[in-house]
C-alpha cells in the first residue's frame, strides 16, 4: 500500500505526453490501397490482429519494395483505447524504412520505450503494457504474409509474459535456481506478471497455454518427486548425475544434516556448502568450515576424508570435496 496507492487516481494520469499527443493526433493512421502500393511499385501487405470482442484490434498496412524488402510506407487502423492507438501509431512509425527482417525484430518493449518522455519513466501504467503487445504481434503477422511463412517461425521461444517478453525457459530456470514458490517472487525476479497480469492464472484478459501458477506447480511437483526418489533410492549414483543443480545442493544438504553435521558440531564446528560444479565426470563440492573447524588441522585431512567418504557412499562415488 502506501500513500500513492491509497490516493489512487486514474490510468490517464500515468500516460506519457507522447502517448497523449499520439492519441490526439496519430501520425501514421490511415490506409494504403492497392492503387497506392502500385504507384510505389510496392507489394501491399494488410495484416490484422486482435478482435473487437477482446477490446482491441489493429490492422497494419505495408507497402514493401519487393527488390529490397524495404517497408516504403506503413499505416495503421485500430480499434482500441488511447494506448492501443498510440502504440499502433508508434509501431507503424518504427516499421517505416526498415526491411521486413529488421521490422520483425521490433518488440512491444521497443514500442513502449519509444513512447516515453523520459528514459526511466514508463509511457503507460502497468496494466496498459498489454496494448503494445498487439502492436508487436501484428508486425509478425505482416512479415509472415510477405514472406509466405507461418507466423510462428518468427518466434524463437515460447513467451509466457508477453508484456515483459519473458520466455518459458527463462522462467523455468529462474524458478529452479532461486527455489521460487510464489508469483510475487517470480515478478520480483523477472517482471513477468507485473503488467496486465493475464499470464498469472486463467481468467485474465488473455488465454495462455501455460500460466505462472502452472510453472510453480510443475516445480513443486518436481521437488516432491525428487525428494521421493531420494528417499527410496538413497545412494544410487545415476540419480545424482541427472539431478538439477538445486536438487544436488538439496541432496548434499540432506546428507550433511543427517550424517555429518552432528559430528562437527560436537567439536564446536560446522560447515556450509558453497557450490557444486561438474568437473569432467567428477562433481566438485566446495565447502567452507565454520566455527572451530576452520583452523583445525584435521579439517584438510581426516575430517575432510570422512565427509567425502560419506557423500560418496550416499550420493555418488564421483564426488570430490574441496574446502575453501
Which residues form the interface with other proteins (CB under 8 A)? 11-12, 23-24, 26, 29, 31, 33-34, 44, 46-59, 76-85, 127-128, 130-131, 141, 196-198, 204-207
Length of the chain, in residues: 324
Give the nearer residue to other proteins in terms of CB position, either 131 or 216: 131
Q: HEC states along the chain?
A: CCHHHHHCCCHHHHCCHHHHHHHHCCCCECCCCHHHHHHCCCEEEEEEEEEHHHCEEEEEEEEEECCCCEEEEEEEEEECCHHHHHHHHHHHHHHCCCEHHHHHCCCHHHHHHHCCCCCCCCCCCHHHHHHHHHHHHHHHHHHHHHHCCCHHHHCCCCEEECCCCEEHHHHHHHHHHHCCCCHHHHHHHHCCCCCCCCCCCCCCCCCCCCCHHHHHHHHHHHHHHHHHHHHHHCCCHHHHHHCCHHHHHHHHHHHHHHHHHHHHHHCCEEEEEEEEEEECCEEEEEEEEEECCCCCHHHHCHHHHHHHHHHHHHCCCCEEEEEC
Q: Identify the bridge partners of residue 49 per DSSP, sorted by sequence position.
A: 58
Nearer to other proteins, 54 or 177 (CB): 54
Among the options 131, 161, 196, 293, which is catalytic?
Answer: 131
In angstroms, give the least distance from the CB of 247 to other proteins: 35
Q: Which is closer to other proteins, CB of 104 or CB of 196? A: 196
- In this complex, which beta carbon is closest to other proteins, that of residue 6 or of residue 119? 6
To other proteins, the closest distance from the beta carbon of 55 in angstroms equals 4
Tell the smallest beta-carbon distance from residue 3 to other proteins (Å). 18
296 classed as catalytic: no
Q: Quick one: 141 or 250, whose CB is closer to other proteins?
A: 141
Residue 212: name the closest of 203, 305, 57, 312 by CA: 203
Q: How far is the CB of 49 from other proteins (least distance, A)?
A: 6
Residues 6+ apart with CB under 8 A from 4: none
Contact (CB, 8 A) for 15 and 84:
no
In the complex, the smallest distance separating the C-beta of residue 79 from other proteins, rounded to whole angstroms, is 5
- Assess whether 161 carries a catalytic annotation: no
In angstroms, the CA 149 to CA 143 distance is 8
Compute the least distance from the CB of residue 291 to other proteins, in Å.
Answer: 49
Q: Report the residue number, 145 or 190, with the smaller CB distance to other proteins.
A: 145
The residues carrying an active-site annotation are 54, 131
Amino acid at each position: 500500500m502506501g500513500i500513492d496507492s491509497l490516493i489512487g487516481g486514474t490510468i490517464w494520469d500515468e500516460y506519457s505526453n507522447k502517448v497523449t499527443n499520439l492519441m490526439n493526433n496519430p501520425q501514421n493512421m490511415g490506409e494504403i490501397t492497392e492503387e497506392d502500393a502500385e504507384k510505389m511499385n510496392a507489394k501491399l501487405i494488410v495484416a490484422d490482429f486482435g478482435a473487437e470482442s477482446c477490446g482491441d484490434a489493429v490492422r497494419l498496412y505495408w507497402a514493401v519494395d519487393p527488390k529490397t524488402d524495404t517497408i516504403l510506407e506503413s499505416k495503421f487502423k485500430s480499434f482500441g483505447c488511447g494506448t492501443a492507438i498510440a502504440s499502433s501509431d508508434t509501431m507503424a512509425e518504427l516499421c517505416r524504412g526498415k526491411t521486413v527482417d529488421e521490422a520483425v525484430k521490433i518488440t512491444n518493449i521497443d514500442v513502449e520505450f519509444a513512447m516515453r518522455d523520459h528514459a526511466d519513466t514508463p509511457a503507460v501504467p502497468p496494466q496498459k503494457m498489454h496494448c503494445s503487445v498487439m502492436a508487436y504481434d501484428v508486425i509478425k503477422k505482416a512479415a509472415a504474409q510477405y514472406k509466405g511463412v507461418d507466423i510462428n517461425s518468427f518466434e524463437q521461444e515460447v513467451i509466457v509474459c508477453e508484456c515483459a517478453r519473458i520466455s518459458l525457459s527463462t522462467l523455468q530456470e529462474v524458478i529452479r535456481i532461486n527455489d521460487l514458490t510464489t508469483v510475487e517472487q517470480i515478478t520480483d525476479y523477472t517482471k513477468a506478471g507485473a503488467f496486465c497480469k493475464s499470464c498469472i492464472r486463467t481468467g485474465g484478459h488473455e488465454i495462455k497455454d501455460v500460466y505462472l501458477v502452472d510453472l510453480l506447480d510443475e516445480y513443486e511437483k518436481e521437488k516432491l518427486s525428487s525428494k521421493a526418489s531420494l528417499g527410496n533410492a538413497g545412494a544410487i549414483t545415476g540419480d545424482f548425475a541427472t539431478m538439477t543443480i538445486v536438487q544436488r545442493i538439496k541432496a548434499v544438504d540432506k546428507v550433511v544434516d543427517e550424517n555429518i553435521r552432528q559430528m562437527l558440531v560436537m567439536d564446536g564446528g560446522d560447515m556450509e556448502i558453497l557450490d557444486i560444479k561438474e568437473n569432467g565426470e567428477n562433481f566438485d563440492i566446495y565447502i567452507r568450515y565454520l566455527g572451530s573447524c576452520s583452523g583445525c588441522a584435521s579439517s584438510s585431512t581426516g575430517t575432510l576424508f570422512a565427509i567425502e567418504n560419506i557423500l560418496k557412499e550416499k550420493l555418488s562415488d564421483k564426488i570430490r570435496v574441496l574446502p575453501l
